Amino acid sequence: MSDAPTAQTASSSAAEARIADAAYTGPMLAADGTPLKKSLNRALRLQKMRALALIAPLLIFVLVTFIAPIADMLFRSVENEIVSETLPRTTTLLANWDAKGTEIPDEAVFEALYDDMFYAIEAKEHTKLGGRLNYELTGMASLFRKSGRKVEDMGEVYQDQFEGLDAFWKTGENWNSFMGSDEWLASMAGWTKADGRQPKFKLREGMADVLPATTATYLKYAAFTQNEDQKNLYTTDPWAIVYSSLHKDLTGENALADYAGPAAEQLKAGAAAATSFETVNFSEAFLDIDKKWHDLDVWTTIKAYSPKLTSGYFLNAIDMQKSVDGAEMRPENQQIYGILFYRTMKMSVIITLSCIMLGYPVAWILANLPARQANLLLILVLLPFWTSLLVRTSAWKVLLQDQGVINDTLVWLGIVATDDRLALINNQTGTIIAMTHILLPFMILPLYSVMQTIQPTYLRAAKSLGATNWTAFWRVYFPQSVPGIGAGSILVFILAIGYYITPAIVGGTEGTFISNRIAYHISSSLNWGLGAALGAILLAAVMLLYYAYDKIVGIDNVKLG
């Protein structure tokens, strides 16, 4: 209050300055003739820079530890690159496949799947993808894991036939002799691991035209062998898929007729023989691995999750799912999140209200006691903060359980019958009791600090004006303590909806919160996308409530002290 006159003086002097301004026609000039504004800005810039430098560590800390994780979480809740990155060719081809039809994709898709799977297996990405898709369709995890072991064998049909045709095809040195450039071959000839970095593979000139498919596959194989496996490419035997690519080239379009480089003879012999090679039907081959590969659901799921961004996690988080016809509700026996969100909100409100009811009188007493006693009492209020959350929660377990202290006392007093003990734990009551206790200080402290600023003269003034004790409290004291209630409620409510340890311990099945499911998805099911989507919804709900609070009560009316 004492600063009110100052504020007024300041504003009136500002008004005077404006009036003074208005008297001049041009902008105000500093002594050296530069515009005053510019001169002022220059003078202030240094100060601003210094201030910025001072808060920079904090700013960076907040950005790194707070903003970045939230951004990461929001991103994860829609991110879905794994499908298209692991199966690039397959998902591209699937774009043209009619998911609503009854036909499974054609051979071209399966061939692409073979290609994609082969590289994914080499990079050990296929099981990861299986895990991801298993969230959407049960059985995908084992389908991909199982296929991983067998896809490698598929290309061996061609490998065996080429090797049977000519022992030349058996060794990596022979392959390199015509795939690699002369320069690279020369640099590899004397290379050993001790020499340091392996010379990067260089393709023989013109090879890309002669054997296009083989070249593409070989480049991938070479890069993977050199970089990921760290093996000597020169002496390593190529992957089976290189042979199937070669078969494709030799039986399809190629420019072999004009080729006269190394191994031209073997290649031409191969081309002659390849037309009569036993071929692989990839669709059938995948069916052999697992009959699920001819299951429509598998393919609609892969197609549905092909895009790099997905709404799937968010749909899941509101008990919906993607289907061929767009989003639809999940079957009733899988709906859980709506209930949990509602329950979390409802119980958080109850906990907040209980905290107000219990915390208000305590804060009032604290604020009205002499400083010495108030400090002592404050320590008692803060005492729960100094014990571990787990200890406190477990203590409630001891108190509240059927054979616990409270029930035993009630039975001893004859208030309840021994076979009719109160159910105080493993239900919502338990969660509300334990969490009210844990969060109470967060209500008392802001209330206390706000109440401390309410001078006792207000109550005296009200009484001197003819108000009874109750009227004085209700019309004069209480409205002034509302900012404390607001601050406490926001703190308690926001902390409450994010709690999971306490509900997990004392909440049983009825008293668990949405955060328990988030924790489950983060630490147990590893479905981080769904966890992130649930977290994002929770964040949005909090912000919405905050916005509503600002609209109704006004955020200026929140005081922490």
Partner 1 sequence: MNLTKTLMASTALTVAAGMAHSDGHMASEMTIVSWGGAYSASQQNAYHTPYSEMTGVKIINDESSAEAVSKLRAMNEAGNVTWDVVDVVASDALRLCDEGLAMEIDPDTQLADAPDGTKASEDFGDLLVGDCFIPQIVYSTTVGYRTDLVGDTPPTDICAIFDTDAYPGKRSLEKRPIGNMEWALLCDGVEKDAIYDALATEEGQQKALDKLATIKDDVVWWSAGADTPQLLADGEVVMGSTYNGRLFSLIVEQNQPVAMLWDAQMFDLDGWIIPTGLSPERQARALDYVMFATDTQRLADQSKYIAYGPARKSSAPLVGKHAELGIEMAEHMPTDPENAKNTFLYNYEFWADYRDDIDAKFQAWLVK
Partner 2 sequence: MADTKSTDAFVEFERVQKSYDGENLVVKDLNLSMPKGEFLTMLGPSGSGKTTCLMMLAGFETATHGDIRLSGTSINNIPPHKRGIGMVFQNYALFPHMTVAENLSFPLEVRKIGKSEREEKIMRTLGMVQMEDFAGRRPAQLSGGQQQRIALARALVFEPELVLMDEPLGALDKQLRETLQFEITRLAHDLGITVVYVTHDQTEALTMSDRVAVFDDGRIQQLAPPDQLYESPENSFVAQFIGENNTLDGVVKEIKGGVAMVQLDSGELIQAKPINVTKAGERTRVSIRPERVEFDKSRMQDGAFTLKAEVLEFIYMGDIFRTRLRVAGRDDFIVKTRNAPDQIRLTPGTQIEIGWLPEDCRALDA
Q: 3-state DSSP call for residue 494? A: helix
Q: Which residues pair with 328 in a beta bridge?
A: 321
When the beta carbons of 85 and 166 are compared against partner 1, the nearer one is 85
Contact residues: partner 1, CB under 8 A: 79, 81, 85, 124-125, 127-128, 130-131, 134-135, 138-142, 145, 333-336, 339-340, 343, 401-404, 426, 504, 508-510, 512, 517, 520, 522-528
The set of residues, in sequence order, having a beta carbon less than 8 Å from that of 263 and lying 6+ positions away, is: 168, 174, 177, 178
466 binds partner 2 (CB under 8 A): yes
328, containing H or E segment: strand 326-329
Instruction: Dump the DSSP string for 428-487.
Output: HHHHHHHHHHHHHHHHHHHHHHHHHHS-HHHHHHHHHTT--HHHIIIIIIHHHHHHHHHH
Contact present, 78 and 313 (Cβ < 8 Å): yes
Q: What is the DSSP string of 477-532?
A: IHHHHHHHHHHHHHHHHHHHHT--HHHHHH-TTTT--HHHHHHHHHHTS--HHHHH
Least distance (Å) between residue 450 CB and partner 2: 12
As measured in angstroms, the least distance from the Cβ of 515 to partner 1 is 14
In the beta sheet, which residues pair with residue 321? 328
Q: What does 327 bind: partner 2, partner 1, none (CB cut-off 5 to 8 Å by kind)?
A: none
Closer to partner 2 by CB, 185 or 476: give it: 476
Alpha helices in 155-206 (DSSP H): 156-165, 172-179, 182-189
Measured CA to CA, the distance from residue 463 to residue 471 in angstroms comes to 9
Q: Which is nearer to partner 1, 262 or 404 (CB)?
A: 404
Tell me if 373 contacts partner 2 by CB under 8 A.
no
For partner 1, give the closer residue by CB, 232 or 321: 321
Binding partner at 124 among partner 2, partner 1, none, C-beta below 5 to 8 Å by kind: partner 1
Q: How far is the CB of 479 from partner 2 (least distance, A)?
A: 4
467 binds, among partner 2, partner 1, none (CB under 5 to 8 A by kind): partner 2
The window from 96-104, 183-191, 194-202, 469-477 that contacts partner 2 (CB under 8 A) reads: 469-477
> Please, are residues 214 and 115 in contact by the beta-carbon 8 Å criterion?
no
String of b and e for 414-434 (b: at least 16 CB within 10 Å)?
eeeeeeebeebbbbbbbbbbb
Task: Give the one entry of partner 2, partner 1, none that residue 527 binds, where binding means its C-beta sits below a cut-off of 5 to 8 angstroms depending on kind.
Answer: partner 1
Determine the interface stretch with partner 2 among 104-112, 158-166, 414-422, 456-464 (rule: CB under 8 A): 456-464
What token pair was written down for 413? 């007093």
Q: How many residues lie near partner 2 (CB under 8 A)? A: 23
Exposure string for 345-357, b = 16+ CB within 10 A, e = fewer:
bebbebbbebbbe
Residue number with CB closer to partner 1 (38 or 149): 149
Q: Which does 402 bind (CB under 5 to 8 A by kind): partner 1, partner 2, none?
A: partner 1
| Residue with the two structure tokens 């006792």 | 456
* Nearest CB to partner 1, comparing residues 115 and 125: 125
Q: Are 83 and 90 in contact (CB under 8 A)?
A: no
Binding segment for partner 2 (CB under 8 A), chosen from 189-197, 325-333, 351-359, 452-460, is 452-460
- Collapsing DSSP states into helix, strand and coil, what is residue 169? helix
* Residues contacting 289, CB < 8 A, separation 6+: 146, 147, 150, 151
Phi, psi of 326 (to 5 degrees): 95, -160
Closest CA to 558 of 477, 471, 491: 491
Q: Residue from 308, 460, 474, 561 that binds partner 2 (CB under 8 A)?
A: 460
Q: How far is the CB of 560 from partner 2 (least distance, A)?
A: 18
Tell me: does residue 476 bind partner 2 (CB under 8 A).
yes
Q: Smaller CB distance to partner 1: residue 131 or 261? A: 131
Residue with tokens 């593979």: 201
- Look at residue 133 and give the partner it binds from partner 1, partner 2, none, a contact being a CB closer than 5 to 8 Å depending on partner kind: none
Instruction: State the nearest-atom distance from the C-beta of 99 to partner 1, in Å.
Output: 21
Pick the piece of the chain touching partner 2 (CB under 8 A) from 105-113, 191-199, 264-272, 453-461: 453-461
Question: Closest approach of Cβ 324 to partner 2, in Å?
Answer: 60
Q: Is 468 in the site for partner 2 (CB under 8 A)?
A: yes
Q: Is 119 exposed, middle or buried (0-12, 13-18, 19+ CB in 10 A)?
A: buried
**Cα-to-chain-centroid distance, residue 10:** 49
Q: Give the nearer residue to partner 2 in terms of CB position, either 418 or 471.
A: 471
With contacts defined by CB under 8 A, name the span among 185-193, 215-223, 476-484, 534-542 that binds partner 2: 476-484
1 is a site residue for partner 2 (CB under 8 A): yes
Q: Which residues bind partner 2 (CB under 8 A)?
A: 1-2, 4-5, 8, 455, 457-458, 460-468, 471-472, 475-476, 479-480
